Structure 1
Amino acid sequence: MLPITDPAQDVLQYGRIQPLDVFFKPKTVAVIGATEKEGSVGRTLLWNLISSPFGGTVFPVNPKRPSVLGIQAYPSLSAIPAPIDLVIIAIPAKMVSQVMDECIAKGVKGAIIISAGFKEIGPAGVALEQEILAKAKAGRIRIIGPNCLGMMSPIQGLNATFASAIARPGNVGFISQSGALCTSILDWSFRENVGFSAFISIGSMLDVNWGDLIDYLGDDPATHSIVIYMETIGDARSFLSAARAVALTKPIIVIKAGRTEAAAAAAASHTGALAGSDEVLNAAFRRCGVLRVDTIDDLFNMAEVLAKQPRPKGKRLTILTNAGGPGVLSTDALISQGGELAQLSPETQAAFDAILPAHWSHANPIDILGDADPERYAKAIEIALKDPHSDALLVILTPQAMTDPTETARRFVEILQKTRYTKPILASWMGGEGITPGEQLLNDCKIFTLPFPDGAVHVFNYMWRYAYNLNGLYETPHLPDEEAESRLQRTEARQILQQVRAEGRSLLTEYESKQLLEAYGIPTVLTKIAHTAEAAVEQAEKIGYPVVLKLNSTTITHKTDVGGVRLLLQDAESVQNAYHAMEHSVAQKVGPEHFQGVTVQPMLKMSSGDYELIIGSSMDVQFGPVLLFGTGGSLVEVFKDRALGIPPLNTTLARRMMEQTKIYTALQGVRGQKAVDLNALEQLLVRFSQLVMEQPWIKEIDINPLLASPQRLIALDARVVLHPPDAAESQGVKTAICPYPLQYMGSWTMGDGTMIMIRPIRPEDEPLLRKFHEPLSEESVYLRYFHLVALSARVAHDRLSRLCFIDYDREMALVATKKDERTGELEILGIGRLSPLHEKDEAEFSMMVGDRYQNQGIGTEVLHRLVKVGRDRHIKRIKAEILPQNGAMQRVCEKVGFHLHRTSPDVAIAELHL
């Protein structure tokens, strides 16, 4: 057995080693630009630092004064007699580069650059930023800013900003790109009694970016939720990678400026960066489990409710009220935003009949009538909580003559304390000062309250959409079709693109486009090329009438614009006439050189169960390739029924894309029509995603229409545009999410001669990993985890999904698999994992080989391959902790070149320096 620590625990362990601690827990801080000038940034910074008890020492730096605010000042950083952890820079931008030289010489690890005058002023500012960044990287200095307010760690008592006061301690981590908004939020938080674990103005994100801070706050036990004000996303891959890793355990809520074109332009001007498509940004947020909200009020409401309440399992809400009007308004708000009213079960109906007056509403919303006393409320709440058809409960109270808001709240709390509930509960105690004590009782019991019920419904709609997107990230996809996967012709596809590029072209002909699709297992309609009218007739005779003629051109992207499509041609004469008419139309509109003949295709008959879809991909300036799915055909731009997604896709993500469109309802079968084969459509979308990710020269590609029916899926037309022929390979696609690393996939022969496959793990492997754990012996489990772990804990979905749904940018897990010759089923023989430390050039590895397959070299080979991954990623040291009695693991490490030594009697350390 080859054990190390649990990879799921490793991730938590790594988070405790954080280079960004220099910003949040510094021991020594120097203020460059400290001054006594009233109202200056330098004076305010110094005063805030010395006024808050963060436990460190502050050193003012001012070459013209012996002291500042009564504290000894130093003429330069080098003159300070102590080591410096953090430097705060508040001097003109042109002087910052020189200060960075001093920071390197002093061994400083972190700098907050408050100064403005960088990329926001244009090319000169950009050049200055790059000069500073180069020096910081050479000196291994992390930078927050420039052009920022600074940051606070209220729990530590650190106020490294020029704001007027330090934020209250709390459990919300707040990050903002706008310093001015930070001060506004700070003032608001004092009024609303909101506290923060961290309060950060990130500025222009020269170095430390969203991903870095999300990682840090994700590991911080004091932070329960992360809220972000964003103007630009910056490094999209870093953001998505960090957000995907953290979102499952801590909610990340974003308000993003720039929904409209005018606002996007203003944000770009303010931060000196380009803004991407807002629709694409929404797709990216869905893809990584981030909740996007529209208002600052929503931002903090959602942070609070998601920290207090469980996530709903669906969008069905039960509304319980003592007044009909608020219930109706709540229903309108719920349905209009995509939620649903829960249908009361017969058992629930009967239970309400037993305790409510005869004229209660007998439906949801549950109107328990205006004379409801606390006892009636309590009984009704208890019944509503038990209804299995409901995903959440909203309780509304309006002050009426018989109403006792405080006692009702007290009984509400008593019910919750004796009931095990797993669904979110919201409340709206409507009224003035009289409801305040009751509202406070609910808040103290972690029941989120809002003054008006439609606002509470608005919060619930955010909650179920957030849960839906988050669940999609870790829902186990269907196992891929191994046979279909083996038929993919990646090399042939690459050769098609290379030939087009060699000819100096960026546009594929329709025939070439369909060849490309066929290489990835996407069926296309039979297509033949004809360069003369006679040849077109000959091909039509072979195919059989009726036929379709389409323009064959290496330069024209949209054939219909130049009369390049002729349908329903019934005989040779109509084919000849169509050919000549098309040739004439193209010559007149764009020139004869753009006509290179036609393609001839069968005219497929359409029935009422056939649907025209569009599947496509185009490049986004921030996120790289973005996928599109929706209603296709000639009116695609009119209907605009589409969903966007960030590749790569698995079958779950493909289905989620489909579900966002209106056409999806029809695809499931309506008015007696059979459903389209949705599983096959999922697989087609996955293969299309693979094509986009694996062929980086593709700039744009669309299939329109893709004919979908219960019997078939077939691409009728396709268009592919490549990056310019003169583009270098390094300018190829930069995907927002790391693609499946095919380069680490390869076969290997075991000691007994059996051929196996060693490849990166994938989400679809969860069922295989569960079977892998089932036969493990107690000894193997003990050696693997350093203690016995129950099978139920090892194969829990939450755990296995985390081990299978990895971000290949962050870690690598390799599985050794083989197909059972008797059953044809795949099985996992062993698994190894390499997990880099946060922002370190070090990594830890873990290994496990099944009992039946030990001593056949699998562990050694997997570890060899993990070491190669480490070298490719410029890791300098790989290590692992091993139990002394685990001789098998120690021998494997020695074979691969690791050095073994003891740090204690109970643990051996294996280390390899690369």
Structure 2
Amino acid sequence: MDAAGADLPAERLAADLSTGIYGLGAFLPPRRVAVIGASERPGSVGRAVLENLSAGPASVFPINPRHRQVLGMPAHASVSELVPAPDLAVIATPAATVPGIVEECAQAGVKAALILSAGFKETGPAGKLLEERIVATARAKGLRVIGPNCLGLMLPHAGFNATFASRMALPGSIAFLSQSGAIGTAILDWSLREKIGFSSFFTLGSMADVDWGDILFFLMEDPRTRSIVLYMESIGDPASFLSAARAIGSQKPVVVLKVGRTKAAARAALSHTGSLAGSDEALEAAFQRVGVIRAETVEELFSLAEALGGNARPAGPRLSILTNAGGAGVLATDALLLSGGELAPLSEETRQELDRILPPSWSHNNPVDLLGDADADRYRKAAELLKKEPQSDGMLVLLCPQAMTEPTRTAERLCEAVKDYGKPVLAAWMGGEAVEEGIAVFHRAGIPCFSYPEAPARAFALIWQQQRNLELLYETPRLLVDPETLGSAVVRCEELLNRADREDRILLDEWESKEILRAFGIPVVPTRQAATEEEAVAAARSLGFPVAVKLHSHKLTHKSDVGGVRLEIEGEEAVRVAFREIRAAAIAHAGADAFLGVTVQTMVAERGIELLLGSAVDAQLGPLLVFGAGGIFVDLLEDRAMGLPPLNTTSARRMIERTRIARALGGMRGIPPVDQKVLEEILIRFGALVLALPRIREIDINPLLASGDARVRALDARMVLSPRGTLAQDLPRPAIRPYPVEQIETVRLGDGTFLRLRPIRGEDEPQMIAFHRELSEESVFSRYFEHLKLEQRIAHGRLARICLADYNIETVLVAEVLPPHPEAGRIVAVGRLEKLHGFSSAEFALLVADRWQQKGIGRLLLERLAAIGEREGLEWIAGRIRPENERMKRICLSLGCRIRFHEELGEDEAILSLRASSARQSAESRGKP
């Protein structure tokens, strides 16, 4: 394409999208498949996959230059002989040959490759180089790759089997994703025995190209998939996974069995897939952040998926249990409570009603024990009473087969009784052949049924936790820290970091660390530096006695371990003695250059709770935050919670709640309650510090003293930097993209009104409600192509998802009126740019409040969205326009968009080539004097 953009954007964009949703259309399912490495040799991968594909709907073409036929099918020497090119190439050849084969496939116009071969990064540096060559070719040529080192994929509903497994999966509504091919075959065999079906069955191997995020985004749009289970050895690209899991989680539950929890298992995962496993605690925090459920075993992985698929979600943790065996009820109760659930209380009214229909010796409590002679009608009547219990959030029905039990008839009566319940119903029919038909009755009714009581009870509790995590994910936070105000703090802190660089050290001393905390609004106890005895005495005198005197050193970090701390110092002579003792201890441990003096700080007299607040870098997830119990027993107590920055009030509160020390913050043993809001704000500010100063690799604030007078202060702190000269691209990258302050801009309209164009925030929901209240029906229809009622548009669930934008995959700019305008603070326009996952393209949309139209705001927003897209590497942006919306078309044309009519949709489509726009701007700037 030349500088004028001669290539037609519409035609190029259409070609980009031809591979289907998220670039995976050539896999799902393909019409023409080439098998490279096809073979007749018994037991070979090339033969097994060829046989499986031949039994399916696709046209299959064996590629083997040494044979004219393979299994009775004409063989071809090269994929380039096939016209038209196949949609998919399945590659089962030695690793050394694969990069050249991928290059050949790309040249021939193949859009997708499935690499079954092993021998890549899991084998070491040489294999890693081979894999890098594959990825480079794939990205340059627009070819998507699953694998290498994988089993392949199945689409059971379509009869498509591109694996070397011995059997085809049953069709169902669960999507299964795995890194391990061997685990995939084992789960396949298990699923056939248990009669569990799949909507799709993916094994991704080392995820050189297509990763978790790609598949999850596809499954979000797949109508056959109702729940998703993952066998995960490493998270891969954390930003991709977390964005996809967050986007899909509210629609379709995601359950993960993450292995590599111990160090030994993590090493095994590295040798298997060549991927770092990362900290297990960090991954747990990431899963909770996006509403992913974590399973402990393969069986639980699928029991959770079954319980989630199509069943109602619990509104709370309280479960009613109905059983004909006390022991089964006890097992279910233990599993429920140990997993964070609760037993639903029985109201007095329900208890009295149960008294009327049950034998006198029934349990009179929850679990409701119907006794061993319970027949189908007794179960039905009890279930009908329990479903009216207002304090219950779900029901679990258990049955142990006994001489008088009717497993099948009981299941039928229960299905009738609970069909209009509206809350989760689970069952466990224990036994063998006697209960099989009853289990089938539940499955036909869409009620999950298990073989043992613990599984459904634990599943209920975990599903409730996932539901709560999702609700909190979209809870409207309070604005405690405005990201726009932190710029001056960063400038002050960079001076301290640069000084450390000049002195060739990576350790910041206590005073420097506290200065950085103070710059970000985190309270610290008043501290002075003193290089001599006299300076120490003067500092103590100005602060007031008693004081604490501590070692000031760039070499010794743990001051208490080397005798470098003196507390409760009273009087000037005591300060001199403390100075000398600390100097002697430091020199004895590490030489004269280890002693730079002391710090003198106010001795905090009031009682409080010692907390820990820190940060570290995870191998996969980047910066992590740590909060928990502090003090000298921090390693012994091991009470901590991890979180991913950035935090808002909701995520900060959840992080605090996940620790045991949180219970003490409400007040205990003479210590008054700690102000939770103050603590939340400190965590939010700390997260902002970690993201704003990526050169700091570790931070340790211990203790962070929380007193009952709404005061929380850092008494001690240390920070460790990345080595001098570390390149910006090598600094830790956050897994969750922080608020993009670089996109904030102030503009002036023609009438003199000032607007701030900025990314939307979670705290904007009230302003967005006011914005929608002022929109006319015509404006709403022009934006959404349908008549959405006001109550639909301002529903919390909908607005929360817009305001709590994932900045990694979308840009939502709001235009906010600035003073001195009388409507200062009001949002008057919104522009959205949503990236198409797997493409270098995005969709845009604009909405301007009626009273603020025809002021140039729409053009300003689209111009800024295009500039953001260009900076982030997009090549095209496109937007839908109603044919009669001439005003919007004029805005788009003024910015260089090409507009075409989309016959199938009956709409206009505006497409802007950002590369052409960039080229024009460059040409114009070169032509200026």
Q: What TM-score comes out, normalization by structure 2 length?
A: 0.92
Counterpart CA distance in 2 for 1:484 and 1:58 is 58
> Aligned letter for 1:844?
E
Whether the 8 Å CA contact 2:671–2:707 is kept in 1: the answer is: no
Structure 1 SS opposite 2:508: coil
2:706 match:
708
SS of the residue 1:727 aligns to: coil
Give the Å deviation of 1:532.
0.5
Q: Residue 866 of structure 1 corresponds to which residue in structure 2?
A: 865
* Correspondence 1:68-87 to 2 at 5 A: 68-87=70-89
**What is the CA–CA distance in structure 2 between the aligned matches of 1:580 and 1:454, rounded to whole Å?**
64
Distance 1:181 1:60 in 2: 28
Q: Confirm or deny that 1:48 pairs with 2:46.
A: no
Bigger mean CA deviation after superposition, 334-343 or 220-229 = 334-343
Task: Pick from 21, 34, 40 the counterpart of residue 36 of structure 1.
Answer: 40
Q: Deviations over 1:605-655 (max 9, x none)?
A: 132xx2111111100111111111101111111111100111111111111
User: CA 1:45–1:376 in 2, change beyond 3 Å: closer, same or farther?
Assistant: closer
Q: How does 1:751-770 map to 2 (within 5 A)?
A: 751-770=750-769
- What one-letter code is carried by the residue in structure 1 that aligns with 2:41? K
Tell me the distance in 2 between the aligned counterparts of 1:497 and 1:762: 30
Q: 1:562 to 1:544 in 2, by over 3 A?
A: same
* 1:310 matches 2:312: yes
**Is contact 2:22-2:217 (8 Å) kept?**
no
2:309 is paired with a residue of what secondary structure?
helix
Gaps of 5+ in 1: 1-12
Question: For the structure 1 residues 313 and 268, does the alpha-carbon distance in structure 2 shift closer, same or farther, using more than 3 Å as the test?
Answer: same
* Pair 151,439 (structure 1): closer, same or farther in 2 beyond 3 Å: closer
1:385–1:485 distance in 2 versus 1, CA, 3 Å: farther
Question: Using the alignment, how far apart are the partners of 1:620 and 1:517 within structure 2?
Answer: 22
In structure 2, relative to structure 1, the CA distance for the partners of 1:101 and 1:448 (3 Å cut) is closer
Q: CA deviation at 1:483?
A: 11
Deviation (angstroms), 1:756: 2.7
Give the distance between the partners of 2:532 and 2:897, measured in 1 at CA.
Answer: 69
Q: Which amino acid in 2 is paired with 1:384?
A: L
User: Contact 2:20–2:26 at 8 Å: present in 1 too?
Assistant: no
Deviation at 1:121, TM superposition (A): 2.1
Structure 2 unaligned spans of 5+: 1-16, 915-929
Query: Could you say if the C-alpha distance between residues 369 and 74 of structure 1 is closer, same or farther in structure 2, counting changes exceeding 3 Å?
Result: closer
Separation (CA, whole Å) in 2 of partners of 1:692 and 1:811: 23
Query: 1:663 and 2:661 equivalent?
Result: yes
3-state SS of 2:22 partner: coil
Note if contact 2:483-2:739 (Cα within 8 Å) is conserved in structure 1. no
| Counterparts of 1:381 and 1:825, CA distance in 2 | 57
Residues 1:742 and 1:542: Cα distance change in structure 2 (over 3 Å): same
**How much does 1:668 deviate?**
2.3
Q: CA deviation at 1:460?
A: 1.9
Verify: 1:846 aligned to 2:845, yes or no: yes
Q: Which moved more, 1:801-810 or 1:823-832?
A: 823-832
Letter in 1 for 2:428: S
Is it true that 1:170 corresponds to 2:172 in the alignment? Answer: yes
Structure 1 residue 871: Cα displacement: 0.6
Greater shift, 232-241 or 354-363, is seen at: 354-363
Deviations 1:200-232 (A, max 9, x none): 221121111121122222222112222111222
Q: CA contact under 8 A between 1:425 and 1:447: conserved in structure 2?
A: yes
Q: Structure 1: which amino acid aligns with 2:814?
A: V
Matching residue of 1:378: 380
Q: Which whole-Å deviations, capped at 9, do the CAs of 1:120-139 have from their partners, x for residues lacking one?
A: 22111111221222222222
User: Shift of the alpha carbon at 1:576?
Assistant: 0.6
**Contact 1:522/1:687 (<8 A) preserved:** yes
Report the CA distance shift for 1:569/1:823 in structure 2 as closer, same or farther (over 3 A): farther
Is the Cα–Cα contact under 8 Å of residues 24 and 152 in structure 1 kept in the other structure? no
Which residue number in structure 2 is paired with residue 5 of structure 1?
none
Mapped to 2, the partners of 1:358 and 1:36 lie a distance apart of 72
In structure 2, C-alpha distance between the alignment counterparts of 1:840 and 1:285, rounded to whole Å: 26
Residue of structure 1 aligned with 2:21, choices 7, 17, 20: 17
Equivalent residue of 1:781, what SS?
Answer: helix
User: Which residue of the partner structure matches residue 921 of structure 2?
Assistant: none
Question: RMSD between aligned alpha carbons?
Answer: 2.3
The residue that corresponds to 1:104 in the other structure is 106
- The one of 659, 679, 682 aligned to 1:681: 679
Aligned to 2:926: none
State which of 387, 392, 395 in structure 1 corresponds to 2:394. 392
Deviation at 1:572, TM superposition (A): 0.7
CA contact (8 A) 1:224 1:307 kept: yes
Please report how far the alpha carbon of residue 427 of structure 1 lies from its aligned counterpart in structure 2 after TM superposition: 1.6
**What is the letter of the counterpart of residue 548 of structure 2?**
V
Give 1:599's aligned residue: 599
Whether the 8 Å CA contact 1:488–1:520 is kept in 2: the answer is no
Contact kept in structure 1, 2:79 and 2:85, CA below 8 Å: no
Change (3 A) 1:34 1:795: same
Return the alpha-carbon distance in structure 1 between the equivalents of residues 524 and 138 of structure 2.
53
What's the offset of the Cα at 1:374? 3.3
Match of 1:495 in 2: 495
Q: Deviations along 1:502-527, whole A, 9 cap, x unmatched? A: 33221112111111111111111111
SS of 1:846 mapped into structure 2: strand
- Secondary structure in structure 2 of the residue aligned to 1:362: coil
In the aligned structure 2, how far is the partner of 1:652 from the partner of 1:802? Answer: 15
Amino acid in the other structure paired with 2:828: L
Report the Cα distance in structure 2 between the residues aligned to 1:436 and 1:899, rounded to whole angstroms: 62
Whether contact under 8 Å (1:488, 1:521) holds in the other structure is no
For 2:407 and 2:277, the matched residues in 1 are separated by 49
Query: What secondary structure sits across from 1:205 in the alignment?
Result: coil
In 2 relative to 1, CA 14–764 (structure 1 residues): closer, same or farther, beyond 3 Å? Answer: farther
- Partner SS state of residue 38, structure 2: coil
Alignment correspondent of 1:830: 829
Cα distance in structure 2, aligned partners of 1:734 and 1:271: 22
Number of corresponding residues: 896
User: Relative contact order (alpha carbons < 8 A, sep ≥ 6): 1 or 2 greater?
Assistant: 1
Residue identity matched to 2:888: M
Distance 2:298 2:843 in 1: 41
> Contact between 2:639 and 2:659, CA under 8 Å: does it hold in 1?
yes
> What per-residue deviation string (whole Å, max 9, x for no partner) do you get for residues 572-607 of structure 1?
111110111001100000111011111111100132
The 1:849–1:907 alpha-carbon spacing in structure 2 relative to 1, beyond 3 Å, is same
TM-score by length of 1: 0.94
Preserved CA contact (<8 Å) 1:104 1:139: yes
Does the 8 Å contact 2:156/2:198 carry over to 1? yes
CA distance 1:115–1:900, change in 2 (3 Å)? closer
Matches of 1:676 and 1:484, distance apart in 2: 28
**Is residue 809 of structure 2 the alignment partner of residue 810 of structure 1?**
yes
1:755 aligned partner, one-letter code: F
For 2:230, what is the secondary structure of its paired residue?
A: strand
Q: What's the counterpart of residue 480 of structure 1?
A: 480
Residue 621 (structure 1) aligns with = 619
Partner of 1:8: none
SS at match of 1:386: coil
Shift of 1:350: 4.4
Change (3 A) 1:480 1:489: same
